[in-house]
């Protein structure tokens, strides 16, 4: 799925494919490839550029967002999605790195993959758009379900990789592998922006927000994950031995810990940042792959989309600190 032909006929391994949004000129109605008109030779974007058809000076905000209608492979219903096309392929041959525009074979491969049914492992959950402060960022761009944040090839690759990990019998190794690949859930999505001025195109999504940019770098799993074998798996687990002492790790509501009075030696607490981070919303994409989703009703947050204000946040945090005081042993620490 991630191979292309070099100029001399050798097979190259794709690192990433750049997709550009197609915009409409408000003056003449022509379709404009954003990458071709806005990207400068040094990898930076022009604030203004000329329409190739009529010459009118434009900027991104003045242009019309264009859509195309395609049959969704999951819902089997017509879906309006942002109009975009591949414009650049970065690939390797014998240790050398090259770039090319997609040729006919590359485009045909993308079309064939688009017609494939999605793996069952790819989640199709609908985002809680109506209760998301970031819903207004993704819904107008044609994204309402989890599988729609991936171009078809990325969905196929990540879905197959997820299935391979699920087949691992040994639970500890399986969990390590899930730890390894779950950062690619965001990194392989259309929220991964193309930024050629950076060293790598891995995990270039904006943090703390669902944002779909005009230029998307569809990176391969190899490009995204191969270095993580050493930097993540080895460093995280090489010194971890089996624990023989009784240990319990759980998740839950800090306002109802379910522990006896005066039973805890030490409390470390890191209260949520009010309305700066929408935790449950941001977790939804990753949690959908695991099939366990946060209950936002108990989330200590200020969020107008969920009808939670400052007073609600104060009361929920007070309940937590009252609970800390109840379970903490006298003379111990928080």
Decide: residue 55, CB within 10 A, 0-12 exposed, 13-18 middle, 19+ buried. Answer: exposed
Please tell me the pTM assigned to this model.
Answer: 0.90
- pLDDT recorded at residue 302: 93
Q: CB-side exposure of 212: number of CA atoms within 13 Å?
A: 25
- pLDDT recorded at residue 116: 92
Average pLDDT, consecutive stretches of 10 residues, N- to C-terminus, the chain (334 residues): 94 97 97 96 94 96 94 86 96 95 96 93 94 88 95 97 96 90 94 94 92 96 87 72 76 92 96 88 95 89 92 95 97 96
Which residue is it, tokens 């000076």? Answer: 57
* Closest to 91 measured CA to CA, from 105, 111, 81: 105
- pLDDT recorded at residue 84: 96
- pLDDT recorded at residue 264: 96
Residues 6+ apart with CB under 8 A from 304: 133
| Cross-strand pairs, 13 | 3, 92
For residue 91, which phi and psi values (nearest 5 degrees)? -145, 170
């Amino acid at each position: 799925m991630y191979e292309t032909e070099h100029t001399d006929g050798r097979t190259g391994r794709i690192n990433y494919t750049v997709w550009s949004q197609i915009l409409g000129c408000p003056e003449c109605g022509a379709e404009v490839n954003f990458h071709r008109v806005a990207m400068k030779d040094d990898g930076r974007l022009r604030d203004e550029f000329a329409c190739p058809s009529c010459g009118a000076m434009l900027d991104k905000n003045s242009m019309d967002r264009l859509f195309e209608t395609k049959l969704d492979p999951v819902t089997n219903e017509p879906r309006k999605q942002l109009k975009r096309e591949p414009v650049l392929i970065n690939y390797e041959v014998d240790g050398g790195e090259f770039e090319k525009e997609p040729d006919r074979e590359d485009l045909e491969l993308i079309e064939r993959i688009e017609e494939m049914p999605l793996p069952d492992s790819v989640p199709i959950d609908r985002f809680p758009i109506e209760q998301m402060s970031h819903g207004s960022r993704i819904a107008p761009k044609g994204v309402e379900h989890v599988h729609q944040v991936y171009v078809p090839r990325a969905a196929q690759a990540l879905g197959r990789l997820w299935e391979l990990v699920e087949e691992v019998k040994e639970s500890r190794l399986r969990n390590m592998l899930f730890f390894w690949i779950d950062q690619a859930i965001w990194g392989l999505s259309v929220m991964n922006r193309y930024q050629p001025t950076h060293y790598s195109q891995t995990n270039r999504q904006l943090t703390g927000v669902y944002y779909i940019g005009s230029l998307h770098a569809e990176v391969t799993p190899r490009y995204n994950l191969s270095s993580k074998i050493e930097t993540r798996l080895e460093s995280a687990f090489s010194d971890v031995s089996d624990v023989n002492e009784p240990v319990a790790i759980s998740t839950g509501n800090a306002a109802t810990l379910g522990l006896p009075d005066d039973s805890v030696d030490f409390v470390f607490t890191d209260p949520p940042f009010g309305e700066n981070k929408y935790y449950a919303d941001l977790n939804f994409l990753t949690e959908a792959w695991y099939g366990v989703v946060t209950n936002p009703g108990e989330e200590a947050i200020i969020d107008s989309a969920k009808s939670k204000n400052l007073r609600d946040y104060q009361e929920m945090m007070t309940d937590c600190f009252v609970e800390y005081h109840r379970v903490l042993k006298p003379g111990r620490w928080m």
